[in-house]
Structure 1
């Protein structure tokens, strides 16, 4: 059985809204036009890379080089592209990304959550649709990115490619992960944490946040700080040195 042309529910919603903006263009026609330019399946990250000129060329088809008039206004094209990017999508299952610049949250760590729907940990490492990326400090939690994991599935080494998607993270929460995949995640510098029952991302991150002020040894290593359980010994040594 062939794979579906659209990778996720979110991608399908974006395409449907874009088609409606383009003077009610048939969704199947838009999927077909996009499929002529992009390898299937159509993923959220592929849609997010489309520009207005890309869409104009896609809709013009074989006449694109002749500057064919698409038949819709430039503003409609812009609105359609915004929908493809995921902006202003009504009924989107995905949470809103917050503004963040590296250095905004000193002492914070970056956490990935395997996700399929809503703002939940509900995915297995090798099959989740995306990773929600959070910046976490003792005082704040920010969703800073949403990254499709499905593009990595076309790679020769799918597990390595998925690990590279989250290589800038310190931790990744997943419902399950196989041994070979876990080894590649660790090799990418990310600490995998299994939580088989999953749950709301806010609850899982809240539990982790509570541990930041007095981290156990494994978390202290991730944070690059001294484990709280060893602090009293360090204080004693400092006293002897004095």
Structure 2
């Protein structure tokens, strides 16, 4: 497939994605993409390109880049902003019977990615009988690069959340988000977000465990009453 068959918009994205990587001419970058997608290079084939496959192809062509640059390049390729899910409205009010959670995700349907490399956090307000997506917080690669600590930058992004569901997180990063009062919960890679919400709602409808009750701001006396009523 020749570059001339690309749409103008896609050709522009490919050029910008190549610029996000160090010392990567567009012609070489297209060779990398062809190695990933095969003969068909279009929006659909790029949307299906995973970060691991992309990283491996770059290595095979001798392109050395850090994780942030690779993530930024893939975001540009896949037009991540266009795929950004919209938050629900109106907001579900914060009460003692609801909790705000963040889910690390590279797509709107499943848990995916490592805490240090996922492209966005989906923020939900969850109650036993309601759940709202209230915000989508995308990683600003430039802001993250300028921050003294990448993990602290990400923790600050979700500092108003009490629980983080993530497929993978290292010990030092987990310790940092705990300092912000966020409880990390490991989810399976590819687990459906709807399933996570459903399971959490079942817990909220009954007696939440002490760590969750504490995260919700339920005082000890309230927790006892809550458990007796349930």
Answer yes or no: is 1:177 the counterpart of 2:177: no
Offset at residue 183 of structure 1 (A): 1.1
1:119 matched to which residue of 2?
109
Give 3-state SS (helix, strand or coil) of 1:221's partner: helix
Contact 2:71 2:117 (C-alpha < 8 Å) held by counterparts: no
Offset at residue 195 of structure 1 (A): 1.8
1:217 matched to which residue of 2?
210
Q: Provide closer, same or farther for how the CA distance between residues 133 and 27 of structure 1 changes in structure 2, counting only shifts above 3 A.
A: same
Counterparts of 1:223 and 1:138, CA distance in 2: 13
Q: Provide closer, same or farther for how the CA distance between residues 183 and 42 of structure 1 changes in structure 2, counting only shifts above 3 A.
A: closer
Q: Provide closer, same or farther for how the CA distance between residues 229 and 222 of structure 1 changes in structure 2, counting only shifts above 3 A.
A: closer
Contact 1:105 1:137 (C-alpha < 8 Å) held by counterparts: no
If the length of structure 1 is used for normalisation, what is the TM-score? 0.56
Unpaired runs of 5+ in structure 1?
1-15, 48-83, 236-242
Offset at residue 166 of structure 1 (A): 0.5
Q: Provide closer, same or farther for how the CA distance between residues 224 and 85 of structure 1 changes in structure 2, counting only shifts above 3 A.
A: same
In structure 2, which of residues 69, 93, 96 is the aligned counterpart of residue 104 of structure 1? Answer: 93
Offset at residue 130 of structure 1 (A): 0.8
Counterparts of 2:101 and 2:177, CA distance in 1: 13
If the length of structure 2 is used for normalisation, what is the TM-score? 0.59
Alignment of 1:10-49 (within 5 A): 20=9, 27=12, 31=16
Unpaired runs of 5+ in structure 2?
1-5, 21-68
Contact 2:101 2:126 (C-alpha < 8 Å) held by counterparts: yes
Offset at residue 30 of structure 1 (A): 8.3
Task: Give the alignment's Cα RMSD to 1 decimal.
Answer: 3.8
Provide the aligned length of Structure 1 versus Structure 2: 168
Alignment of 1:35-114 (within 5 A): 86=81, 89=82, 92=83, 94-101=84-91, 104=93, 106-107=95-96, 108-114=98-104
**Which structure's CA Rg is the greater one?**
1
Give 3-state SS (helix, strand or coil) of 2:129's partner: coil
In structure 1, which of residues 194, 200, 206 is the aligned counterpart of residue 198 of structure 2? Answer: 206
